[in-house]
Amino acid sequence: MRLLVVEDEDAIAEPLVEGLEREGFDVARVATGAEALAAEHADLILLDLRLPDMDGYAVCRELRSRSKVPIIMVTAKGEEVDRVIGLELGADDYVVKPFGLRELVARIRAVSRRSSGEPTRSAILRAGPIEIDSRAHRVTVNGRELSLTGKEFDLLGLLVAEAGSVVDRRTIMREVWDTTWLGSTKTIDVHVAALRKKLGDAGLIETVRGVGLRLRP
């Protein structure tokens, strides 16, 4: 996947580009809005809002008028109004600095799946003995149907969609509980304990200490 990073600060852009390249992405970087608008095709754009020549919102608006390329806004602004404006202009997601590389990569992959029409939690997902049909809100394990609460269903769906990969707690809180709460995430542990019991195999969901959860592939 080819990414375009639009960031004018070298101290931020250089390690970000290096980290994304280590994750296997093909990354190009520009430092101004004009360069972003003139850049070659990218599969996804990481767009900083504070650019030296023009407002990042204007860049987003222009990009969206000419293309459906996925856009993730990257900015130091964290107020809700900024996020709302960005999303209304056509951005697909919004990341507030400082952020972790794991979180950013997870968001890039999630946005890419949604935009490309690849199977997501809205389709039938399978991982090992687990099958999830979100349209029917039905989960089976080795053919045995489970009775899950809404949050248990959403949490398992997220882990199955990312089977084999670690999903960090911040991503889980955002995707399942629709919050960026960074305090106690004990509620995740409670739901995981319930899921492990219902799945009948506690080892299916692995805890990666200090990071998050992984569904065993």
Quote the pLDDT of residue 103.
78
More confident residue, 152 or 177: 152
Q: Where would I find the beta strands (DSSP E) of the chain? A: 2-6, 26-30, 44-48, 71-75, 93-96, 124-127, 130-133, 138-141, 144-146, 166-168, 205-208, 212-215
**pLDDT, tens only, 63-73:** 988 888 999 98
Q: Where are the domains of the chain?
A: 2-116, 124-215
Cβ atoms of 159 and 214 within 8 Å: the answer is: yes
Quote the pLDDT of residue 116.
62
Q: Is 216's pLDDT higher than 50?
A: yes
Q: CATH number of the domain at 2-116, out of 3.40.50.2300, 3.40.50.300, 3.30.2130.10, 1.10.10.10?
A: 3.40.50.2300
End-to-end CA distance of the chain: give it in Å, rounded.
23
More confident residue, 144 or 93: 144
As a residue count, the chain comes to 217
* DSSP 8-state assignment for residue 55: B
- Give the confidence band of 131 by pLDDT, cuts at 50, 70, 90: very high
Q: How far apart are CA 193 and CA 179, in angstroms?
A: 21
Instruction: Compute CA distances 136 → 114, 131, 133, whole Å.
Output: 20, 12, 6
pTM, two decimal places? 0.56
Q: What's the CATH class of domain 124-215?
A: mainly alpha
Average per-residue pLDDT in the chain? 85
- Give the confidence band of 120 by pLDDT, cuts at 50, 70, 90: very low
Quote the pLDDT of residue 134.
74
